[in-house]
Amino acid sequence: MIEIGIIGGAGYTAGELIRLMIHHPKIKIKSIVSRSHTGELIHLVHQDLLGEIKDMKFTRDLKKEIDVVFLCSGHGQSRKELNHISEITKVIDLSQDFRIMNESSFKKRNFVYGLPELQKETIKKSNNIANPGCFATAILLAILPLAKNQLLKNNIHISAITGSTGSGREQSETNHFSWRNNNISVYNIFQHQHLQEIEQTIHQVQNNFCSKVYFIPYRGNFSRGIITTLYTYSTFSLKKNREIYKEYYKNHPFVNISDINIDVKQVVNTNKCILYLVKEKDKLVVVSIIDNLIKGASGQAIQNMNLIFNLDETCGLKLKSVRF
């Protein structure tokens, strides 16, 4: 069994990790750290786990015998936590601290960008993974087949809307019910923090890309999920573009190409990404949907763990969407 630990165990991302891990056939949870809830029963914070995780409590520190630790603390906290983690322990970091190449090292650790559909074989050989951001995951999965085939010839225009869980568990003006309900807004126009990893990855795959990426994110009035719509110039037919996408993702079990229009509920509670392509004159439009807490965070982290430990990529992640 793979013995795992979680640091930052009280947040939404950690709650989803725990929920998925307790049914994973190859995992044993050794300790879940929360400095703000030390000594409290875990199911009192993650109330959906009542009856699932029994009498387990949050601890202040990790137990020493851990195979892999998941860092779910806030952005900027991971480097502090690594000072207290054994160098032989594998690390999957769900913050943005190590996603950018010139920031991807800490002491003897070198972090690999953990998007399996980009570099699965590299992840398999790695001990330190920087889990991608949720917006970045949805957007990159919509772009990678074009970049791989050197087909990005013009600017990329993106709009994407995320559920309130993307803002984390701590309350703020823009993520509590009264503000989100019957409401929608844009934020960080052309300046979202995930743009760096998106642009970095595009250039990694298609190094001659010299156009711009314009990204407008929206706060949605629902709790979970991301829907992304992007468009860019394309001379290929819709049929040809679909063939390109299906060929690229033929060995990636969590990405599906739909021939009909899609909606967020198709992916909620799953590790799937579903893509839908439309051609309008000389523009290719790609719609991408994921669950921001699973494929955009915890599920992808487990997918990366499966790859590191040479397990079936889908182990513990064969989940059905909550459609109604």
Mean pLDDT, residues 53-71: 89
pLDDT for position 12:
87
Which run of H or of E encompasses 20? helix 12-21
Average pLDDT taken over every residue of the chain: 92
pLDDT band for position 282 (50/70/90)? very high
pLDDT for position 261:
97
pLDDT for position 166:
61
Map residue 318 onto helix, strand or coil: coil
From 134, 210, 273, 315, active-site residue:
134
Q: Is the pLDDT of residue 171 over 70?
A: no
Q: Is the pLDDT of residue 225 over 90?
A: yes
**Angle of helix 299-308 relative to helix 12-21, nearest 10 degrees?**
50
**Angle of helix 134-148 relative to helix 238-248, nearest 10 degrees?**
110
The 8-class DSSP code of residue 122 comes to H
Instruction: Tell which wins on pLDDT, 146 or 78.
Output: 146
pLDDT band for position 168 (50/70/90)? low
Q: Is the pLDDT of residue 136 over 60?
A: yes
AA letter at 114: G
Residue whose structure tokens are 């725990």: 18
CB burial of residue 159 (10 Å; 0-12, 13-18, 19+): middle
pLDDT for position 177:
65
Cα separation, 81 vs 83, in Å, equals 5
pLDDT for position 322:
80
Radius of gyration in angstroms for the set of CA atoms belonging to the chain, rounded to a whole number: 19
Say whether 315 is catalytic.
no
pLDDT for position 172:
60
* φ and ψ of 231, to 5 deg: -145, 150
End-to-end C-alpha distance for the chain, whole angstroms: 35
Report pLDDT digits (tens) over 86-124. Answer: 889 999 999 999 999 898 999 889 999 999 999 999 999
Q: Which domains does the chain have, with CATH numbers?
A: 2-132+295-308 (3.40.50.720), 134-292 (3.30.360.10)
Report pLDDT digits (tens) over 195-222. Answer: 999 999 999 999 999 999 999 999 999 8
pTM above 0.85, yes or no: yes
CB burial of residue 250 (10 Å; 0-12, 13-18, 19+): exposed
